[in-house]
A and B are shown apart, each in its own frame.
Chain A
Amino acid sequence: MLIIGERINGMFKDIGVAIREHDPKPLQEWAAKQKAGGAHYLDVNTGPNSEDQTVDLPWMVSVLKECTDLPLAIDTTNYDAMEKALEVYGKPGALINSIGCEQEKIDRVFPMAAKYQADVVCLCINKVGIPKSADDRVAMAMEFVANAEAYGLQPDNLFIDPIILPVNVAQEHGVEALETIRQIKMISNPPPKTTVGLSNISQKSPHRSIINRTFAVMAMTAGLDSAICDANDEALVDAIATARLILNQDIYCDSYAKVFRQR
């Protein structure tokens, strides 16, 4: 289970200010802090207040590239900014975050992923909106996989996101997302990877941490490979480390939670 640390995002006030002033310090601090928490990737997002993403996003990537060895999840729907950021990143293993299930987006981004040897987060959502049933989500996942082959990507270069919605207003979606994750693992061999924007499940609820970690454990059982989440939520990281043990993905030792954070 890969933890994609969500904190370097212009939506947060300190990062927003740092981007406006091009001050690398908060980015560096959060990179180190999230790594210590247990992050395996760092999500990088300018947030909505960026004057020009094609400038700000490559700047963020260049700062982070210098100060951390963790791979970056470059988080934008502005694909010109994405391309510039990947160019600045300049090494394989980045994560493109994200595209929806629309042919023009696939045609725009998959060649980029192949060129820069990046993986792609693919959302099960299209112009029509978010599908209700697992079957409709899986059909989109299949579209992504079939397209990946055509562009010379492997199925496991894709991180398919079934889309989870807040449990307080869209309760019936959670179970469909779990079923989608289960079925995505049957699409191909090797199967695509899966991811979720974990914090969505608890939007505007008063019990965010417990909702997040409970869903994380359930989704891991269904086959979840990664989540964009708060890498410094200790209870969440503990729960993920424990679920990995019980799923026989890590060899047990008494200090497993500590070991998980060191890898």
Chain B
Amino acid sequence: MALTGLDIFKQLPKTNCKECGSPTCLAFAMAMANGKASLDMCPHASEAAKEFLGAATAPPVKTVKVGVGEQEVVMGDETVLFRHDKTFYHPTALAIQISDTLSGAELDAKIEKINGLVMDRVGQQVAIQMVAVTNCSKDAAKFKAAVEAVAAKAKFALLLAGDLAALEAAVPAVAAKKPLIHAATAENWEKVVALAKANNCPVVVKGNGLDDTAALVEKVAKEYKELVLDFGNTAQAKTLAEMVNARRLAIKKKFRPFGYPMLACTLATDAKEEVVEAATYVAKYASIICMKADEKHHLLPLMAWRMNVYTDPQKPMAVEGKVYEIGDVTPDCPVYVCTNFALTYFAVEGEVVGSKIPGYIVAVDTDGSSVLTGWASGKFVAEPIYEFVKNSGVMDKVNHNSIVIPGYVAIISGKLKEISSYNVIVGPQEAVGIPAFAKANYPQLMK
């Protein structure tokens, strides 16, 4: 939201001197809101006004980066409260905790385990992004040793959580990795922020609730702006409310102290509950979630959820364009052809499963457009369908020469027959007709 006339008016001197060319300060404020005037036309504008109006044109949530190279994590720069309004840009980073009470073989084993938290899902790699080394030992030397060991072996960006002494010992040793420092508090912020600034690392500002954190950020931001917010997580529901309010204020009210990425730590001790808690924070604006769970089976659902939440709603959801085998297929089974639009494919797949007759589904790559959309745009017509079916090799798996096309594109069957010499069968218009179609045509294959 651009600046409103009233926002600008409040910053003006209210002299109504007309020196800007407008009859009143009110009129000048409206002219500015409309982009027809600029503040330098006002000879009496204060420095504070200039700073406010400059800041108001900055993006609502600052971009902050942790880590370097392959390990770099980009946070912030979000613009909406609901993904359907546009999209969420930077997926929540998951940071898995390692305590500095571990050492030697135990520590190595833990790092090894965390490095293994990389999985494949629907053809994409999903992984955690950060390792959080925590100063549970309360011993600065131990902390430094653990941080150095983790930095040497871990495949991910670092988050270092400790008291001032521990941070002062560990941060300079790994500054080249640009770790995130946790945390500047009301007691120690001057020194922690000085350390972050000297080592060019982002730093977490940790307060106690909204008001306290905002007041602390106001102080810190005068010195340094590479910040991440932590509202001092005390209860899941409270954290959720704090993050929602902070993000609302940043986007809707341009409230600068909350215009930074946010970090949440899970409180639940049971791993399953922890994942549910983390899922809440993924959906509601957290840029980093610091958690203890480190089992693949706990993290995979969370990563799948994160992937889904951060998908761009404006791009059609597509499945991989390829041949899918439904049930125990044999060379006698039917070959159905549809597009790779997710809604289309899953409608067809569901009905083929429901027909109790195994079959092949060729999801032609139409850039994720539906049958009729693909047909209208020339992506689901005779030539591309023939090319795709031929290259998919599906016809080598069957002992017949028939393919079934959607009833709505019956018009292409003649041409498709001609160029492919397949026996093109026009199937039902709606996928819901597939079970009846299959039973009528392939009764011998009924399972």
Contacts and interface: CB of A to CB of B under 8 A. Distances in A.
A139 interface: yes
Interface stretch (A37-45, A180-188, A198-206): A180-188
A215 B12 CA distance: 36
Contacts of A189: 1, 4, 6-7, 252-253
A143 interface: yes
Given A183-B34, A186-B33, A139 B24 contact: yes
A142 B9 contact: yes
Interface string B28-41: 01100110000000
B409 interface: no
Contact of A188 (B7, B24, B34, B252): B7
A135 B27 CA distance: 8
Contacts of A142: 5-6, 9, 26-27, 29-30
B122 interface: no
Contacts of A146: 6, 9, 26
Contacts of B252: 189
B440 interface: no
B178 to A, nearest CB: 36
A166 interface: no
Contacts, number: 49
A146 B27 CA distance: 12
Contacts of B253: 189
B158 to A, nearest CB: 39
Nearest to B6: A188
A20 to B, nearest CB: 45
Nearest to A148: B6
A138 interface: yes
B30 A155 contact: no
Contacts of A120: none
A191 B4 contact: yes
Contacts of A135: 27, 30
Interface in B12-48: 23-24, 26-27, 29-30, 33-34
Contacts of B29: 142
Contacts of A186: 2, 4-5, 30, 33-34
Contacts of B4: 186-189, 191
B33 A187 contact: yes
Contacts of A183: 30, 33-34
8 contacts: A142-B5, A142-B30, A145-B6, A186-B5, A186-B30, A187-B4, A187-B30, A188-B5
Interface of B: 1-2, 4-7, 9, 23-24, 26-27, 29-30, 33-34, 252-253
